[in-house]
Amino acid sequence: MAYKIRGLVGSSNLSEQTASILRDAIKSGEIEPNTHLVEQDIANQLGISRIPVRKAIETLIEERLVVKDAHKGAFVHPYSKKELEEVYSIRILLEHVVVERVLANWSAERYEQLKTLVDRMAEVDASTQKQSLDDLDTLFHETLWAMAEHNILAELLAELRSRSHIFYFLREQSYFTENVGFLDSHRSLLAALNSGSVAEAKAEMTRHIEKAKHFIENYYAYLDE
């Protein structure tokens, strides 16, 4: 077995706890893409039966972190450059709609709300708290989506963002520590929004999203070396 699962499992909600442990291990890179998830191996490591493990894997399949082959079993979602391109190209289009709707009712209050999040990013130690930065990045975009006041648009973007996180199996490098432009990218996006120019804000949003996409591409190229 190529991976070791860390985490203590209590006596209740075993399937939820197991799903959480596996989810964290996948997103942190402890369990790598294409890894075969064997129910009995996982059950043995956690000291539980296979039933909650099976349910946990089903949950991760629904979240698209895991894929299942009818004959070979469950595997951590593999990296696909084509899927990455599809996810990010659609996301850019939808984020442009967000920009249009947000700027239609832009205000000093909206600026301050987003600036508070960017200021919080600046206070985080990127070398030890990359999860905190990821959470703030998520909150920044979710706040923008909420400002757009379009529920279906927000749902679609949340789904695309979730799918993009499939590609963040980061271990040797970190988007937040190696990509020194992470904070500057958010500051530039906020400044573009505050300029009131839809065209400028759309262009900056495109740069912002493509920066993350290019990092993922470079990361996998690094792993293939």
Classify residue 3: in a domain, yes or no. Answer: no
Last residue of a domain, one of 76, 105, 127: 76
**167 and 219 co-located in one domain:** yes
pTM for this model (two decimals): 0.76
Q: What are phi and psi of 164, to 5 degrees?
A: -70, -30
CA–CA distance, 175 with 134 (Å, rounded to integer): 9
Classify residue 121: in a domain, yes or no. Answer: yes
Q: What pLDDT digit, counting tens, does each position of 159-168 carry?
A: 898 777 666 6
pLDDT of residue 173: 46
Residue 203: give its domain's CATH number: 1.20.120.530
Number of C-beta neighbours around residue 211 at 10 A: 15
Q: How many domains does the chain have?
A: 2
Classify residue 8: in a domain, yes or no. Answer: no
**108 and 196 co-located in one domain:** yes
Q: What pLDDT digit, counting tens, does each position of 178-224 carry?
A: 445 788 999 999 999 999 999 999 999 999 999 888 877 776 665 55
What is the span of the domain harbouring residue 136? 81-224
- CB-based contact 39:55 (threshold 8 Å): no
Mean pLDDT of 80-97: 93
